Amino acid sequence: MDNYQPNRACPCTRCRYRGIMGPAILVTLGVLFLLDNFDIRGANFDHTWPLILIVIGVVMVLRGNASTAGHIPPPTPMPPVMPTSGPVPPSSSPPGSAGEVHHV
């Protein structure tokens, strides 16, 4: 789809993958810190941080190759209505109504 625009209400796979980057990074950081706290040999945070870059790359590939089958485009906003400039039409109130002046 050439003119893809994400929509939060859309059930397609690509729109659902749009919000997965943040949680994937948080889970990866949590796992790395957990392994670092357990003093697992070779699992020091100093040496495993490239895993974050790998997770970011995997999420970007998944998001870019996800299917757009059933995609619902976002609603287009209505353009603002500009007031027209022109003469104001006279009021069509019946004679003798309040606010009229009659000369005799």
Q: What is the pLDDT along the chain (104 residues), one digit of tens a residue?
A: 457 777 878 888 888 888 888 899 999 888 888 887 887 776 676 777 788 899 999 999 988 888 888 888 888 877 777 777 666 666 665 555 556 666 66
Q: Quick one: which of 56, 53, 50, 62 has its CA closest to 15?
A: 62
Residue 73 counted as domain residue: no
Dist. CA 67–CA 69, nearest whole Å:
6
Residue 79 counted as domain residue: no
Total number of domains in the chain? 1
Three-state secondary-structure class, residue 32: helix
Domain that holds residue 47: 13-65
Three-state secondary-structure class, residue 67: coil
pTM over 0.75: no
Residue 54 counted as domain residue: yes
DSSP code at position 19: T
Residue 97 counted as domain residue: no
